[in-house]
Amino acid sequence: MISEIKKTFGVIFLMLMIVLVLGAKEEIIKFPGKFTSISAFKGKIYLIDSENVKILKMTSDFKEVMFKSFFGEGPGELRSITGLEFSDDSLYVFSEGKYLKLSHQGELLDEGKSDGFFVTLSGGNKVFSRDVFSDDKKLLKIVLQADTLEKEIFSFDITPPLGYFASAFTYFIKPKPVLGGRFFAVLKPDLNASVEIFSESGNLIDRISPPMERIPVSREYRERFFSSLFSDPRFKDEGMQSWVRENVYFPKNFPVIQDFYVSDQNCIFIKTFKRKGNDVLFYSYNPDKKKLTEIWLTDQGIDLANQSNLTAFSDGRYYYLYYDDEGEYRVFFKPWQ
């Protein structure tokens, strides 16, 4: 009897320790909206409601700080939200051809036209991500702007293969500041995929290349891709769905890198397509120690290559936004260390 009690107590104690160590939790987002993106900065969580052009800002324990609409065409308003970028004193909100610069309290500080997403570095230089059409090609260019001078960092051909309307792996490559904006990092999605770190003047100073592993694109991934796409009311027609299935290109293998993220502590996380059940393989990289470490983190499905904004890292936490079977938005979070 005593031995059974000890055994039971040991199991309970072990389970408790696992919960304490992993610290994994979930939070249901109880605010109305269609949330399609999560970001985090210095312990605050930001969700984008793409349908209503709103931003929901919350504390780390999911209490509302700001829930603000930007919809409109006047000053301080946008027709859509395509991304967020943070600095110590401001928040940039991007739309097609326009940006807003806000205080962290949501007050409008500045606005202007923009021909692409950009980050502002500590010395004032800006790094742009631009889509450029040249002849029959669509190029993605990373450009460093210093005063009135521009320097092209690299250019990548994102034209769909001949005979196809679109590619399933269309990247929205955005530069990201590192070490307080003294450097910036960019995903270079070529055959030898890497994350490259540049100085403020645009000189390459580091290259992070995770192990090359070719993973076949699964039927499950294809079906999830189309399921997500066809949830859009514009694709309800069955004839349209059939045409899209025939005209979207899928390569034989996944790219090596899905996306990368930079935490408040300037640790870089590279997300791959390698999975074990609900876990996905990341590589964490410390720019100071130049050490690449393999870590497995949970998500609740197969992220699409063009929807990798469902992941964020901040204040020692890993966040994952997903839509559950009951129709509720949830944020899974846990300490990543």
Q: Report the alpha-carbon distance of residue 223 to residue 229 in Å, rounded.
A: 10
Give the pLDDT confidence score for residue 152 in this predicted structure.
Answer: 92
Confidence class of residue 301 from pLDDT cuts 50, 70 and 90? low
Tracing tokens 């990373």 back to the chain, one arrives at 142
Show the tokens assigned to 120.
């502002």
Check: CB of residue 232 under 8 Å from CB of residue 226: no
**Residue pLDDT, tens place only, 119-177:** 999 889 999 998 888 777 888 889 999 887 899 998 888 888 888 888 887 666 789 99
CB under 8 Å, gap of 24 or more: what pairs does 243-247 form? 244/165, 247/164, 247/165, 247/166
DSSP letter string over 214-226?
A: --BPPHHHHHHHH
- Which residues, including other chains, have CB under 8 Å from residue 241's CB and lie 6 or more apart? 226, 230, 235
The sheet that has 108-113: what strands, in order across it?
83-86, 91-95, 98-102, 108-113
Q: Is the pLDDT of residue 9 over 80?
A: no
The domains of the chain are located at: 27-114, 118-209
Give me the mean pLDDT over the 301-321 stretch. 75
Helix 238-247 vs helix 219-230: angle between axes, to the nearest 10 degrees?
140
**Residue pLDDT, tens place only, 265-295:** 889 999 988 888 888 899 999 888 888 999 9
Give the pLDDT confidence score for residue 307 in this predicted structure.
Answer: 53
Confidence class of residue 183 from pLDDT cuts 50, 70 and 90? very high
Of 110, 105, 152, nearest to 132 (Cα)? Answer: 152
Q: Is the pLDDT of residue 262 over 70?
A: yes
For residues 287 and 186, which has the higher predicted lDDT (pLDDT)?
A: 186
Confidence class of residue 2 from pLDDT cuts 50, 70 and 90? very low
Q: Report the alpha-carbon distance of residue 324 to residue 55 in Å, rounded.
A: 21
Task: For the chain, give the percent of residues with pLDDT over 90.
Answer: 33
Q: Where are the beta strands (DSSP E) in 98-193?
A: 98-102, 108-113, 117-120, 126-134, 137-146, 149-157, 166-167, 176-178, 183-188
- Which residues, including other chains, have CB under 8 Å from residue 136's CB and lie 6 or more apart? 159
Q: Is the pLDDT of residue 322 over 70?
A: yes
Of 43, 41, 89, 87, nearest to 62 (Cα)? Answer: 43
Q: What is the pTM of this model?
A: 0.85
**Residue pLDDT, tens place only, 13-69:** 333 333 333 467 888 888 888 888 899 998 899 999 888 899 999 998 899 888 989
Give the pLDDT confidence score for residue 17 in this predicted structure.
Answer: 33
Give kind and range of the element (H or E) at residue 170: none
For residues 45 and 189, which has the higher predicted lDDT (pLDDT)?
A: 45
Give the pLDDT confidence score for residue 199 in this predicted structure.
Answer: 94
Q: For 27-114, which CATH class?
A: mainly beta
Q: Is the pLDDT of residue 246 over 90?
A: yes
Q: Work out the mean pLDDT of the chain and round it to a whole number.
A: 83
Confidence class of residue 303 from pLDDT cuts 50, 70 and 90? low
**Residue pLDDT, tens place only, 88-129:** 889 999 988 899 999 998 899 999 998 888 999 988 999 999
